[in-house]
C-alpha cells in the first residue's frame, strides 16, 4: 500500500480509503469486522463514515473496531443528512451540527474526528453559519480537519473565500462522486482541488456496482444496489452508461484484470485524487477493489479507458480550447 499526503494537511493516508456505508446494514457486525481487519492487513489507515450510515450503527461498529488502533487510523464522519424524525434532525445549522458532533463522538467512542464533512449542501442555512460552527469544532478539538461532500465547485470556492476572509478553518478535503460514467467532477471540482491543494476522496468509483462486470451492458440490472435502491437507479439509469460498461468490461477481460480493479485504478490515476473510497458487503467484493493498489496503470491503458465514456466539456464551453491547448495563448 502506498500513502499520500491528504491535500495540504501533512497527514499521510493510504491511497485507498475504505467506506463503511455497509456497516450495520448490508454487512453485520461480524462481517464488518472481517472487512475492517482485511483493510488493516492490506495497509489501509483511512476509513470513511457518516452519522446516517446504518442509522448510526456504522459509527458504533467502527468505533468498536478502532479501539485498539485509534491513533493509527484516520477516520471521517459527516453531518447534514436526516438522522431522526424531528423537523430539525437534518441540515447544516449550528444547532444541528453541535448536536450531531457529540452524538457521533459518543458512537465512535473517540475524543475527536480526524476529518468532518458537511454531507450535502443546505439551501436553508447561510454558509457563514455553517462555517462558523465548523470552525468552533476545530477550536474545541472535536474535529481536526474539515471537508465537504456533494457540493458544486462554486459553493466550495465561495466557502473557501469566506473562511479565508474570516480567518476560520477552511475545507481541507472534498468528497465528490467520480467514476468512469460519472465524470462531471473533471470539469471544475477536480481542477479546483488541484488549485487549492484540497484532498479528494471520490466515492462510488464502481458506479454503484455498475463497473464490476456483473451486469450486462445491454440492460439494467435485476438485482443489486442499482435495482434495489431508488437513488442508485436514478443515478445510473442512462442507456449510454451500459454501453460504456459493455466496452469497459470487454477491455478488462482483454487485460486479464477484474473490472472492479480496473475501475478503481482509473479513478486513482487522476492527479487530483488522494484516495478513492472503496466499499464492500463481503470479503470477496473487497479483494477486487484492494487489488487496484497493486495494478500498474499505464498511460496507454488510462487513455483507452477514458475513451469508453464521454468526457464532459470544459467549463467555459469553448470547444476550440479543448482541441488546441495553446489556443488561449495564441489568441489573447
In 33-67, which positions are buried (b, 16+ CB within 10 angstroms) versus exposed (e)? eebbebbbebebbbbbbbbbbbebbbbbbbbbbbe
Closest CA to 289 of 9, 17, 4, 2: 17
- Calculate the alpha carbon distances from 324 to 320, 327, 331, 332 in Å: 6, 5, 11, 14
| Catalytic positions | 53
Which single residue is written with the C-alpha cell 464551453?
Answer: 317
Terminal CA-CA length for the chain: 46
Which single residue is written with the C-alpha cell 500513502?
Answer: 3
And the C-alpha cell for 196? 487549492
- Calculate the alpha carbon distances from 286 to 167, 261, 283, 289, 294 in Å: 41, 10, 5, 5, 14
Closest CA to 274 of 182, 227, 205, 184: 205
Amino acid at each position: 500500500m502506498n500513502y499520500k499526503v491528504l491535500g495540504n494537511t501533512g497527514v499521510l493516508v493510504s491511497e485507498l480509503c475504505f467506506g463503511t456505508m455497509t456497516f450495520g446494514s448490508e454487512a453485520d457486525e461480524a462481517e464488518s469486522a472481517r472487512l475492517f481487519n482485511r483493510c488493516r492487513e492490506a495497509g489501509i489507515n483511512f476509513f470513511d463514515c457518516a452519522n446516517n450510515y446504518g442509522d448510526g450503527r456504522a459509527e458504533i461498529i467502527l468505533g468498536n473496531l478502532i479501539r485498539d488502533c485509534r491513533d493509527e487510523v484516520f477516520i471521517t464522519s459527516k453531518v447534514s443528512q436526516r438522522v431522526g424524525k424531528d423537523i430539525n434532525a437534518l441540515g447544516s445549522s449550528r444547532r444541528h451540527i453541535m448536536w450531531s458532533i457529540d452524538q457521533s463522538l459518543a458512537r465512535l467512542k473517540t475524543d475527536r474526528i480526524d476529518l468532518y464533512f458537511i454531507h450535502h449542501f443546505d439551501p436553508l442555512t447561510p454558509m457563514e453559519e455553517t462555517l462558523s460552527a465548523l470552525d468552533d469544532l476545530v477550536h474545541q478539538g472535536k474535529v481536526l480537519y474539515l471537508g465537504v461532500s456533494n457540493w458544486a465547485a462554486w459553493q466550495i470556492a465561495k466557502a473557501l473565500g469566506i473562511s479565508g476572509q474570516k480567518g476560520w478553518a477552511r475545507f481541507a478535503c472534498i468528497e465528490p462522486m467520480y467514476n468512469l460514467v460519472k465524470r462531471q467532477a473533471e470539469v471544475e471540482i477536480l481542477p479546483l482541488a488541484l488549485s487549492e491543494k484540497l484532498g479528494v476522496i471520490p466515492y462510488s468509483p464502481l458506479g454503484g456496482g455498475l463497473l464490476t462486470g456483473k451486469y450486462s451492458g445491454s440492460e439494467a440490472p435485476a438485482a443489486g444496489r442499482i435495482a434495489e435502491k431508488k437513488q442508485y437507479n436514478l443515478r445510473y439509469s442512462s442507456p449510454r452508461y451500459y454501453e460504456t460498461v459493455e466496452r469497459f468490461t470487454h477491455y478488462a477481460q482483454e487485460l486479464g484484470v477484474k473490472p472492479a480493479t480496473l475501475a478503481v485504478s482509473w479513478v486513482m490515476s487522476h492527479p487530483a485524487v488522494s484516495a478513492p473510497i472503496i466499499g464492500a458487503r463481503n470479503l470477496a467484493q473487497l479483494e477486487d477493489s484492494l487489488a487496484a493498489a497493486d495494478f500498474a496503470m499505464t498511460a496507454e491503458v488510462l487513455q483507452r479507458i477514458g475513451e469508453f465514456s464521454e468526457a464532459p466539456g470544459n467549463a467555459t464551453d469553448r470547444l476550440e480550447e479543448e482541441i488546441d491547448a495553446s489556443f488561449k495563448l495564441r489568441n489573447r
